[in-house]
């Protein structure tokens, strides 16, 4: 009887070790497109000017090309504007997407999206939108839709 228990334990230990090993099999990709609704938008350097709400489509290609397992090229598009090219990366449980924006005055402007991200489900939570554009600023609350939620 004791031999059977020991034999069973000897077989179970390698299986247990394999099951407890870290694995990326549970990790999901962020590749796809996410609708982004920006609300509670304030403009101006002092942030005291109410701006219009904004809608975007964030497209991500999760290929690890920016040096983190979840990172890669990103595109931010809105109706009536040219799409912005940029990059994204997930650091810990936070996603950050950054886009360069040209200005009429030649300044280097940028749009940044930062939000909580769940690598095991590939979902993005409610975060922050920030436009830094020389003398004009805009920021707001960014609500992300589920993967592949942009309407074409």
Q: What is the pLDDT of residues 39-88, one digit of tens each?
A: 998 887 777 788 889 999 999 999 999 999 999 999 999 988 889 999 99
Degrees to nearest 5, angle at CA 17 with 12 and 21: 150
Burial (CB < 10 A; 0-12, 13-18, 19+), residue 29, is middle
Give φ, ψ of 23 to 5 degrees.
Answer: -145, 145
Q: Where are the domains of the chain?
A: 28-144
Task: List C-alpha distances in Å: 106 to 74, 78, 133.
Answer: 23, 22, 10
Contacts of 133 (CB under 8 A, 6+ apart): 101, 103, 107, 109
**Per the confidence metrics, is the pTM higher than 0.85?**
no
Is the pLDDT assigned to residue 91 strictly greater than 80? yes
Q: Which CATH number fits domain 28-144: 2.40.30, 2.60.40, 2.40.160, 2.40.128?
A: 2.40.128
């Amino acid at each position: 009887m004791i031999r059977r228990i020991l034999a069973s334990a000897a077989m179970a230990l390698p299986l247990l070790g394999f099951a407890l090993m870290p694995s990326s099999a549970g990790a999901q990709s962020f590749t796809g497109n996410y609708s982004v609704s920006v609300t509670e938008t304030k403009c101006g350097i002092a942030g005291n000017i109410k701006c219009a709400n904004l809608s975007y489509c964030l497209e991500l290609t999760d290929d690890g090309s920016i040096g983190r397992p979840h990172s890669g090229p990103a595109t931010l598009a809105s109706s009536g504007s040219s799409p912005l090219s940029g990059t994204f990366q997930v650091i810990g449980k936070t996603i950050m997407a950054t886009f360069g924006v040209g200005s009429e005055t030649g300044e280097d402007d940028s749009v940044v999206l930062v939000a909580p991200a769940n690598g095991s489900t590939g979902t993005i939570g409610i975060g922050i939108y920030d436009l830094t554009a020389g003398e004009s600023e805009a920021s707001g609350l960014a609500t992300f839709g589920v993967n592949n939620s942009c309407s074409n």
